[in-house]
Amino acid sequence: MLHIINKSPLSNGALDSCLRVAESGEILLIEDAVYAATKGSALEGKMKEAMDKLKVLVLLPDLEARGLADRIIEGVATVDYGGFVDLVASNKNCQSWL
Amino acid sequence: MSDIKKFMFVNRKAPYGTIYALESLEVVLITAAFDQEVSLAFMDDGVYQLKKGQQTKGIETKNFSPTYRALEGYDIEKLYVEKESMEARGLSEGDLLVDVTVLGKKEIGELMDQQDVVLSF
């Protein structure tokens, strides 16, 4: 399944909770959640660990808007809005975490 | 109508502080009215929604916690609580106002995977 996160992992528990229960599938980071995909943040270790069991993707326009497109953690894939749509369509189900 | 889908409502917010818990219940009841297969998962602060003995007179807010016990009457019998969240809050099954199935984080995640629709509150 596809998990969509849109809140900063440094001020909101949604990503933490998602990573705790999700055993497989894909996570798409959008809006303020894109900070989780950047090198050097406190989350980097946790994200790398998560990538052992989940595919992590980030919405590039949101990263670019925040000036962080050149700091993506290795192994995190980027998608544009079209790719976002493809992800939703190709997964059996999805959850937009609040 | 034979198109029955599996709906899971994931509840992660404490009651009363925000409107999410109450709104989730409303949508749960609507979904059940359409004869869909409904389950509820409680994790993080959402576990507090099921705490026994809620008394809301003092905050002049409707105590909607009895509604969880009425869900059975709408054929909603699948209530899941994440063990890790419950324990992190010092709660046990005996503190909850309704019978639930306590599942570990992994099992909750697997259950989410199996749904047709997952709504987060």
Residue B17 CB neighbour total at 10 angstroms:
10
Whether the pLDDT of residue A95 is over 70: the answer is: yes
Whether the pLDDT of residue B22 is over 80: the answer is: yes
The percentage of chain A sitting over the pLDDT mark of 70, rounded to a whole number, equals 100
Chain A residue nearest residue B83, CA to CA: A21
Angstrom distance (rounded) from CA B6 to CA A80: 30
Q: How many CB pairs under 8 A join A and B?
A: 48
Reported as a single tens digit per residue, the pLDDT across A65-92 is: 988 899 999 999 999 999 999 999 999 9
Reported as a single tens digit per residue, the pLDDT across B27-86 is: 999 999 999 999 999 999 999 999 999 999 999 999 999 999 999 999 999 999 999 999
Contact B77, B100 (CB under 8 A): no
Number of helical H runs and strand E runs in chain B: 4, 5
| Residues in chain B within 8 Å Cβ distance of A7 | none
Sheet holding B101-103, edge to edge: B101-103, B78-82, B37-42, B6-11, B117-120
Nearest to A98 among B12, B106, B108 (CB): B12
Give the pLDDT confidence score for residue B1 in this predicted structure.
53
Task: Give A 22-41 residues with CB within 8 A of chain B.
Answer: 22-25
Chain A residue nearest residue B8, CA to CA: A95
Hey, what are B5's tokens?
């889908």
Chain A residue nearest residue B5, CA to CA: A93
Q: What is the mean pLDDT of chain B?
A: 95
Whether the pLDDT of residue B19 is over 60: the answer is: yes
| Residues in chain B within 8 Å Cβ distance of A21 | 43, 82, 105-106, 108-109, 112
Residue length, chain B? 121
- Tell me if residue A17 falls in helix, strand or coil: helix
- The CA distance from B51 to the nearest CA of chain A, in Å, is 20
Is it true that domain B6-120 has CATH number 3.40.1260.10?
Answer: yes
The answer to whether the complex's ipTM is over 0.85 is no
Q: What is the mean pLDDT of chain A?
A: 95
Q: Is B12 on the interface with A (CB under 8 A)?
A: yes
Domains and CATH numbers, chain A: 2-97 (3.40.1260.10)
Contact B10, B118 (CB under 8 A): yes
User: Is the pTM here over 0.90, yes or no?
Assistant: no
Whether the pLDDT of residue B2 is over 80: the answer is: no
